[in-house]
Amino acid sequence: MTCLPAHTDKRLGLVIDLDTCVGCQACVTACKEWNTGGHMAPLTDIDPYGGNVDGVWFNRVHSYEHTTEMGGRTVNFPRSCLHCETPACVTVCPTGASYKRASDGIVLIDEDKCIGCKLCSWACPYGAREFDTDVGVMKKCTLCVDRIYNDNLAEDDRVPACVAACPTSARHFGDLGDPLSAVSQLVAERGGVDLMPEMGYHPTNKYLPPRAHTTRAASVPAPALEPVRTEGGFLGWVDRMLSN
Amino acid sequence: MHPAFSVVFFTTATGAGYGLLALLGVLGGVGAIPADFWLGLISMGLALGLIAAGLLSSTGHLGRPERAWRAFSQWRSSWLSREGVASVVTFVPAGLFGIGWVFFGHTGGWVAIAGLLAAIGAVVTVCTTGMIYASLKPIAQWHSRYTLPGYLIFSAMTGGVLLNALLQFFAIGSNTLLAGCVLLTGLGWGWKLATWRYNDRLEIPTTANTATGLAGGTVRSMEWPHTEENYLLKEMGFRIARKHSVRLRQIAQLLAFGLPIVLLLAAFGLPWLFVAVLSILAAVIQFAGMLVERWLFFAEAKHTVTLYYGR
């Protein structure tokens, strides 16, 4: 049913730190590697070694130049499904293929019901859904639903592949519905924001803005080296002899 | 938005078909249009043919058309599903009306009721089509109060001009009908101009700043995540050059509104053959013009995902 659950027991999602993301694309690659064999498999690539390479990815990292009166900086920006509280991508689905889970709030697609009308991708303001032209159905991030509850994995590994791969710990996974969870506290502490709040989709995933420019950085240069003191005596004589 | 021909043709053809069906249902049912076998067969055939062709064309847009039947299930939340249900349900009274009016030559009574129900079904279906687009928040040009009335007006306009062409061909047209078509086409023209004016002045609150959560200053896309165009850019990043947009708007206005009005006005008071030829020409030219209008409806619509790509 594409009607939304009135309440979800948990609100699982990601918190992405734009301050520490270095744009290495490790999350992108890890996501592709896991999911091309996972719940929404395959993540088809079209003409992967040709001139018109195209394919399905759940996670894409953009790079932006953010310029304010404080100066400019590069911001690397991972973009994936935000598992919104009121996702229009689900309600527009005519077949019931798209759904939001009442248990944890994850937005998923039942590939066997999808007719590939693409309307859900039009309804998503964030570009989270990508159409697989080869299979003829829509695909999207599953929040690695086949990892996070997977008893076959060590408990530490039961996080989305992108979170596990991030070398700078810029990606955090947890229950954003629980105000005491580590991710909720991180959002509160760092002033995490919603993307396009004016759209009214109430995204679950939060983004932590880059920290403010600091004045504590090494703005005072290290003290200059002192000139060698001229000495008398034996050492002074050696110094003069060698300097000649 | 990418103007897929299957969807452009679908919305234009079903719009005209449902407009014609609604007018036939109401006017034919009460006997304002006489029950004549050949007129009935050709006009109902044209209305239902346009609808069926449009619906078939829309399945060409699907990745898995063999599963299209599933689209009737989610009418509680999805306008697309509601459209599917309404379009199929409308075939029932439309079919009954067609049998009674065309094959039995009846008017009034159950035929009038079936005709009225078919007309209501047609209006509801066109509303659901309009709402599919009007409900999409990420596309500001569609998510406006102009979209739904636009679909209804254009449906009435193209359906009316088609009905006029049919009745004039069978020599049972009237000046009232001609005048009605001129007025409807004028209304359509005015609505389209108002819509374009609104879209051109649109100030969209969503920016690259709100899209990335980076407050203040400017956000400039430095590097895409991929080197070639992906699905998002092919489907939603479609761009049309401003000069082409201006030229295409002129062509759409000329074909969809300007020329049909001139042809219909010229038909007043002329002998049968001339009225019939001018009326048919007006209908054909208007349909071509509406295809251009609908192509622009897609091509000029901008999706918020393009903000992530600096477009």
Backbone angles phi, psi at A108, to 5 degrees: -130, 170
What average pLDDT score do residues B198-209 get? 95
Strand order in the sheet with A206-208: A171-175, A12-17, A206-208
Tokens 């992530």 label which residue?
A: B308
- pLDDT at site B36: 92
Cβ neighbours of residue A158 under 8 Å, at least 6 residues apart?
Answer: A147, A148, A149, A150
Q: Nearest residue on chain B to A4, judged by CA atoms?
A: B77
Burial of B69 (0-12, 13-18, 19+ CB in 10 A): exposed
How far from A46 is each of A42, A136, A185, CA to CA, in Å? 12, 13, 42
Say if A187 is an interface residue toward chain B (CB within 8 Å). Answer: no
Q: Answer for the pair B310, B207: CB distance below 8 angstroms, yes or no.
A: no
Q: Answer for the pair A21, A78: CB distance below 8 angstroms, yes or no.
A: yes
The number of distinct structural domains making up chain A is 1
The CATH number linked to A20 is 3.30.70.20
Q: Confidence class of residue A71 from pLDDT cuts 50, 70 and 90? A: confident
Other C-beta atoms lying within 10 Å of the C-beta of residue B35? 19
What average pLDDT score do residues B187-205 get? 96
Any domain includes A128 = yes
Q: Which long-range contacts (CB under 8 A, 24 or more apart) does B45-50 make?
A: B46/B17, B46/B20, B46/B162, B46/B166, B47/B17, B47/B18, B47/B20, B47/B21, B47/B94, B47/B159, B48/B17, B48/B21, B48/B91, B48/B94, B48/B98, B49/B17, B50/B13, B50/B14, B50/B16, B50/B17, B50/B20
- pLDDT at site B138: 97
Residues of A with Cβ-Cβ distance to B238 under 8 angstroms: none
| Greatest Cα pair distance in chain A | 97
Domains delineated in chain B: 5-309 (1.20.1630.10)
- pLDDT for A154 beyond 90: yes
Cβ neighbours of residue A178 under 8 Å, at least 6 residues apart?
Answer: A10, A11, A184
Say if A92 is an interface residue toward chain B (CB within 8 Å). Answer: yes
Tokens 């004589």 label which residue?
A: A237
The partner residues of A193 in beta bridges, in order of sequence, read A207
Q: Answer for the pair A36, A55: CB distance below 8 angstroms, yes or no.
A: no
Any domain includes A94 = yes
A-B contacts at Cβ under 8 angstroms: 205
Backbone angles phi, psi at B231, to 5 degrees: -55, -45
Instruction: State both tokens at B115.
Output: 């005709």
Residues of A with Cβ-Cβ distance to B74 under 8 angstroms: 1-2, 93-96
Residues of A with Cβ-Cβ distance to B205 under 8 angstroms: 198
Any domain includes A244 = no
Q: Could you give the CA distance from residue A122 to residue B298 in angstroms, rounded to a whole number?
A: 12
What average pLDDT score do residues B50-56 get? 95
Q: Could you give the CA distance from residue B12 to residue A105 in angstroms, rounded to a whole number?
A: 39
Q: Could you give the CA distance from residue A13 to residue A160 in angstroms, rounded to a whole number?
A: 10
Q: Inter-chain contact B77–A2, Cβ cutoff 8 Å?
A: yes
Residues of A with Cβ-Cβ distance to B2 under 8 angstroms: none
Any domain includes A119 = yes
State the residue range of the domain holding A159: 12-208
- pLDDT at site A217: 66
**Best residue in A4, A17, A47, A62 for a mutation probing chain B (most B CBs within 10 Å):** A62
The partner residues of A55 in beta bridges, in order of sequence, read A45
Q: Could you give the CA distance from residue B232 to residue B234 in angstroms, rounded to a whole number?
A: 6
Q: Could you give the CA distance from residue A51 to residue A29 in angstroms, rounded to a whole number?
A: 20
Any domain includes A240 = no
Q: Confidence class of residue A241 from pLDDT cuts 50, 70 and 90? A: confident
Tokens 């203040």 label which residue?
A: B216
DSSP string covering A167-198? TT--EEEEETT-TTSHHHHHHHHHT-B-SSGG
B103-145 confidence digits (pLDDT tens): 999 998 999 999 999 999 999 999 999 999 999 999 999 999 9
- pLDDT for A230 beyond 70: no
What average pLDDT score do residues B43-70 get? 94
The fraction of chain B above a pLDDT of 90, given in percent, is 95
Any domain includes A216 = no
pLDDT, mean over chain B:
95
b (16+ CB within 10 A) / e for A7-23: ebebbbbbbbbbebbeb
Could you tell me the pTM of the whole model?
Answer: 0.91
Q: Could you give the CA distance from residue B40 to residue B22 in angstroms, rounded to a whole number?
A: 14
Q: Could you give the CA distance from residue B265 to residue B292 in angstroms, rounded to a whole number?
A: 23
Q: Could you give the CA distance from residue A82 to residue A67 in angstroms, rounded to a whole number?
A: 26
